[in-house]
Structures are given as structure tokens and as C-alpha cells.
Structure 1
């Protein structure tokens, strides 16, 4: 499982979905936040990494609480089901990697950091 976790993160690094950054230092004037993450794996499927932005620091708000959610972009479920049933053909898509395609402004990236430890040549990096 750990090897699969590492492979997924390496693929995301190679695909410029994630980037390696310098450790947090006091010169950064904007907020820095580290996300918790874990792998979710269905039976017979490849795992996917889930980042948890709902965890709070001691006496602090979670990242989810600090983000502007904006108006709901989702349609009413009843209306959506009715539209689905009135047409002859329905198309369904898998949006597994859709959220990995969302770009962040460079100044906002430091609130979506996460730690990733790898073991190379017997040493943890």
C-alpha cells in the first residue's frame, strides 16, 4: 500500500499536479497550512489520495471554514432526475481526476501543503 501511495504521488509530481516546496520559514508573510491526507482504495481498484481540509489546528479554523464557497453550482436533484428520465440517451462521466486539474494562484498554494515522506537508500526524506 505504501509503495502504491508513493507511486501515485510521484505520478502527480511528474504531471505537475503537485510540486516540491521549501520547508516553511518565517519569511513567508501569508498563511501556511498543512493538509492531512490518506489513501482510499476500493477492492480491485487502484488507490486514490484524499486530502482532508476539514481538520482544525488547536484553536484555529479549518481550511474549509476559511474558503469562500460561493453560490451552489449544483442543480436541484429532483430536477436533475426528471431531466435525466425525459431524454432517450443518457451520458455518464467519471470525474475522478477533475479536482486535480484545478489550478491555484501561487500565493494561495501554501495553504494546501502536505507532508510526504519517502525512503530512499534506507533513509527517510
Structure 2
């Protein structure tokens, strides 16, 4: 909204609203001499009872104009003011393409994550990335969480059974093992203390509109352990290295035909080191009668 008080004093400042200004002045004068019941409303006007204002649609939006016989003089007004310079500046800020990602603007910790990846990553025998977890220095210790994970799994197990979705859930988990994205914990590794392992609780995302898999499994890395520390609390946060959203939108408008694609199970294709896999444990069984 422009600063209307400044512009309305001189109609030449807003010539494209000249007709609306003239109409508003005439309407205000006419309402003082005639009641709304003696005049036929136009298609852009809502007329109220006699001696009451009318709602009028203009290029500026709907306005209220006319006389009133009410004795209540309290008026409440809500509006937003912006000068033409502010509007022009905002327009250029939106249209200006963003600067390229520059490591100069990254924090020290985010630079550590990038350096960690560049120096520590490797490739497996099937050409998958293998990356150690970027741990924080002097991070708090993760506590015991297996007992809570078991309780949450039993609850989800009963919930899915009541909805008839247990079979779909088991198919999703079995796919993890079939594709090599998960492996059973060795019996000897059960001897490790609670501070050497971490169990991730499972959450279920149900997508009824999906034409393939209606259930998606999500592991909650924000869950707090007995020491009120989650797995995410012990890890560094990486900087955003992909292009900003505005870049994608501009490229989308640049060509007549736009193509989109998706990388299937991208995050599951990144392997963890042997030592880090103990911090990504989860519990599962295919039937309630089986042990966890």
C-alpha cells in the first residue's frame, strides 16, 4: 500500500486511480443527501440499511464509504505503509540472482564438516560413499535408549496391526536387509555398553496417495537418550552446498519444457563405517510372537 495521505492530495500522482478517486468523493457526497433505499446499487457495490455506509469495490480493493448516524466515534484502522522506494527495492531483491556459495561465509564448524568429508570419505567395493560421522569435539555422552525404543516399536506394531498395515511395514524393513542397507547385529556386539551404541526409534509416515509404497519408515535421530542427548546433538551440521531454491525456479522458467527426476534411496546408498553402525541400531521383528 502506498502512502495514501501523501498521494491523495494530488490526484496527478496516481492518474490510473483518477476514476476511483472521483467516484469515492461523489459517493461520500451523495450519501449525505439521499438514503440507500432510494438508490439502485451497482454491480460493484453492496448497499446496507438506510443511513449506513456501503461497501464499494475499487481497483484498490473493497472500501467502506457513506454516512452513518451512529454515535460511536471509536474507529479502528489496520493498514500497512510502504513508500515506492521500499517497494522497488524489495522487487530488485527478489529478482536479483543469489551469490554463489562461498566458503568464506561458512562458520568454522561448517568448514570442519566439509574438510572432514574431503579427507575422510572413501568408496566401497560397489562404489558407494563411505563416510565417518562428523562428530563434535567434546560432545556430551549419549545415554541408554534401547528400552524406550522397544516400547515405541511395540506401540507402532500394534497400531499398524489394527490398520492392517503390518505386512507392508515388514516388506519395507525386509528391503533394507535385501539391499544391504541394514544387517543383523552380531551376538558378540550385544555385550557393548549402552554408551557405545545407540538405538534409533522408528516412525511411520503413511502416504495413502502413493501408488507404490504407502508406508515410509523414518528413523528419529532427534530422540533424547537417558542423558537428554540425541545422536544429532553429538554431530556437526554441514553447510548447504546445493543451489538455492530461487535458482531452480529461474531455470524452470527459462525453457519451454521442464524435466524432473529423483534419486531413489539416495541417503541409504551412503555407507557408515563399522564403528559408526553401532549408533544406528534399530529393533524389529516380523511377528508379535517373535522375540525382539
TM-score by length of 1: 0.82
Task: Give the alignment partner of residue 37 of structure 1, picking from 202, 206, 227.
Answer: 202
| 1:55-74 matched pairs, under 5 angstroms | 55-74=223-242
What's the CA shift string for 1:7-47, capped at 9, x where partnerless?
1111211111111003632379x731100112222114321
2:74 corresponds to: none
2:183 corresponds to: 19
2:281 corresponds to: 113
SS of match in other structure, 1:124: coil
Greater shift, 68-77 or 3-12, is seen at: 68-77
2:216 corresponds to: 48
Structure 2 Cα separation of the partners of residues 14 and 100 of structure 1 = 13
Give the RMSD, CA atoms, in angstroms.
Answer: 2.3
Unaligned runs of 5+ residues in structure 2 are: 1-164
Per-residue deviation at 1:65?
Answer: 2.0
Answer whether contact 1:38 1:50 (CA < 8 A) is retained.
yes
Structure 2 Cα separation of the partners of residues 96 and 108 of structure 1 = 23
SS of match in other structure, 2:275: helix
Which is richer in helix? Answer: 2
Structure 1 Cα separation of the partners of residues 261 and 202 of structure 2 = 25
Higher relative contact order (CA 8 A, sep 6+): 1
SS of match in other structure, 2:196: coil
Per-residue deviation at 1:79?
Answer: 2.5
Query: Does residue 104 of structure 1 match 2:272?
Result: yes
Answer whether contact 1:36 1:51 (CA < 8 A) is retained.
yes
SS of match in other structure, 1:107: coil
Residues paired across the two proteins, number: 122
Query: Does residue 85 of structure 1 match 2:253?
Result: yes
Structure 2 Cα separation of the partners of residues 48 and 26 of structure 1 = 30
Which one has the largest radius of gyration? 2
TM-score by length of 2: 0.38
SS of match in other structure, 1:123: coil
